[in-house]
Amino acid sequence: MLSFTEENYLKAIYHLSDGGLKSVLTNEIAESIQTKPASVTDMVKKLALKNLITYEKYHGVKVTRQGKSQALAIIRKHRLWETFLVEKLGFDWGEVHDVAEQLEHIQSPLLIEKLDEFLGFPSADPHGHPIPDKNGKITIARQITLLEATEKKAIIRSVKDSSASFLDYLSKVGIYIGATVQVMERLAFDGSLEIKIDGKKKVYISREAGENILVTQ
């Protein structure tokens, strides 16, 4: 069984590796987990001994099949708890991350099964991020950024940036998961977008915002 700390490292590495595709360097991990490179070196050795990652001195780490499976289990818990907090307890979608960061480490397979059922087996968390199933399987729909969307209608599916500040901004503007939007115009000046939400509200969002919103068309 992994410690709290080992779980946090493994999850961070998994995310940085884009789901196990890329290999990940020491400094990236250190930055993402807010620690020093020397500490990362120690920990990746430990995770490598447990066969969760492979580690090549000076050349970063790769997540193993086992590591992926464990990382996905943690991500599953994180996202189910976030869903619970928003759907059942009435949290705002920008408030849930830090609490879920703690709840994801609770050890009880039965609890997660029952929570999943209580929530009605949701397929995505409040940020639109897919919730892996019991076997770690993720059902991914092809998503593009709002910036890349053509002028046809698109549906908001998820956000790349889950920071409270960005989510607050979206709420204020009137953008939410599931909203139907249409890009009316791309301003030549700074790349900002004029969009219509649910056929009614017309708003302007920055190029950067557009890059952090994922949609399906």
Partner DNA sequence: TATAAAGTTTAGATTAGTCTAAAAATTTAT
Partner DNA sequence: ATAAATTTTTAGACTAATCTAAACTTTATA
Provide the binding-site residues for DNA, judged by CB under 7 A: 3-6, 25-27, 35-46, 55, 57-60
Kindly state the smallest distance separating residue 154's Cβ from DNA, in Å.
Answer: 37
Residues 6+ away with beta carbon under 8 Å from 61: 13, 23, 24, 29, 44, 47, 48, 53, 54, 55
- Contact present, 174 and 202 (Cβ < 8 Å): no
**Residue 1 in the binding site for a second copy (CB under 8 A):** no
SS3 188: coil
106 binds, among Mn ion, a second copy, DNA, none (CB under 5 to 8 A by kind): a second copy
> Which of these ranges, 43-51, 100-108, 112-120, 141-149, lies near Mn ion under the rule CB under 5 A?
100-108
Phi-psi region of 134 (alpha: psi -120 to 50; beta: other; left: phi over 0): alpha
Kindly state the smallest distance separating residue 31's Cβ from DNA, in Å.
Answer: 9
Q: Binding residue for a second copy (CB under 8 A) from 3, 27, 66, 102?
A: 102
Determine the distance from the C-alpha atom of residue 8 to the mean position of all C-alpha atoms in its chain, rounded to a whole number: 14
Q: Binding residue for a second copy (CB under 8 A) from 74, 103, 167, 193?
A: 103
The terminus-to-terminus CA distance of the chain in angstroms comes to 42
Site for a second copy in 68-97 (CB under 8 A): 85, 88-91, 95
Nearer of residues 4 and 189 to DNA, judged by Cβ: 4
Site for Mn ion in 37-76 (CB under 5 A): none
**Residue 125 in the binding site for Mn ion (CB under 5 A):** yes
What's the chain's length in residues? 217
Nearer of residues 115 and 159 to a second copy, judged by Cβ: 115
Integer Cα distance of 164 and 16 in angstroms: 20
Nearer of residues 88 and 202 to a second copy, judged by Cβ: 88
Integer Cα distance of 168 and 183 in angstroms: 21
Integer Cα distance of 37 and 34 in angstroms: 10
Nearer of residues 109 and 172 to a second copy, judged by Cβ: 109
Binding residues (CB under 8 A) for a second copy: these are 85, 88-91, 95, 98-99, 102-103, 106-108, 110-111, 114-115, 118
